[in-house]
Amino acid sequence: MARSKTVEELATALKETLGSRLVAFLLYGSTARGTHVTGRSDVNTLLIVDTVDEGLFAAIEPVVSAWSKGGHPAPILLSDAEWRDSADVFAIEYEDMREAHRLLAGRDPWEGGGVTVQRADVRRQLEQELMVKLVRLRQAYAALRNDPKRLAAVISGSMAGFLTMLRTTLRLAARRPLPAPPRGAAPDALVREAAALVGLPPDPLAELFGQARGRTLQLSAADPRAAAYLAAMARVAEFVNRLT
C-alpha cells in the first residue's frame, strides 16, 4: 500500500506545479492548533492563487487527486482577489485561521494588513450558523431520539463546528484573541470557559466532548446528554444574539 503524503509534501508538490501562481498555502484547523485526533480530524488546507481558471485545475489535478486518495479533503481554493474581498463572508473562518495556522508555502496572507475582519460580521455569521445548526439538530433529535446510534453520529459530526462557535463566542466576548491551547490538549478548558460565560453548568458539556474525543460517542435511548447538548447550543445562540 502506498504511503499517504504528508502536508509538507503536498506543499512542495504545489510549489513545483504552480510556481509564481501560488500566492499562499497554509494549514489551519485542529492540526495547526495541535488538537488533531488521528483518524477523526481532517487535515485542512487553504490554497490562494493568482487566478482560478481551467488551466489551474488541469495543473493541480494530479497533485490534489493523490492527496485526496489519502483520505484528506482537497484544499480550499481562492484567488488572491477573492481572499482579500471575502472577509465579510467568511468572518469566523478568517479569524479562526488567523489565530491558528501554519504557512507552508508563499507569503502569509495576513501580512500587510490587506485583510480586515469586522466584529459585526463575525457576530452576524456566528448567530446565523448557530441557529442553522440548532434547527438541524432539533430535526435530527425529533426523528432519532430513540435511535441512539444514529443520533450519536449526528451529534459527533456537529461537535467540531460547535467547538469553533464556542471559541468564536469567547473571542467576541473578550474582544481579543484567545491564548493558544497546549499542543495536543483536549477541548475541556475551552468548553468549560464557554459554558461558564453563557451561564451553563460546565460539567455535562465538557464530559460529552471528552467522551467523543478520539472514539465513538455512545448514547442510550432518550439520553439526557443529547437533550443537554441541544439546550447548550440554544443557550449559546441566545447569548450571541444579545452581544453588541
Task: Write out the chain's pLDDT in tens, 244 residues.
Answer: 355 789 999 999 999 999 999 999 999 988 888 776 666 678 999 999 999 999 999 999 999 999 999 999 999 999 999 999 999 999 999 999 998 899 999 999 988 777 999 999 999 999 999 999 999 999 999 999 999 999 999 999 999 899 999 999 999 998 666 666 655 556 788 899 999 999 999 888 888 888 766 667 889 988 899 999 999 999 999 999 999 8
Answer for the pair 31, 43: CB distance below 8 angstroms, yes or no. yes
Question: Where along the chain do its domains lie?
Answer: 7-113, 119-242
Q: Cell triple for residue 212?
A: 467523543
CATH class of 7-113: alpha beta
Record the cell numbers describing residue 241, joined without a space: 444574539
Q: Return the closest-CA partner of residue 46 out of 3, 5, 82.
A: 82
Place of cell 485561521: 97
Q: Cell 466576548 maps to which residue?
A: 173
What pTM was estimated for this model as a whole? 0.84
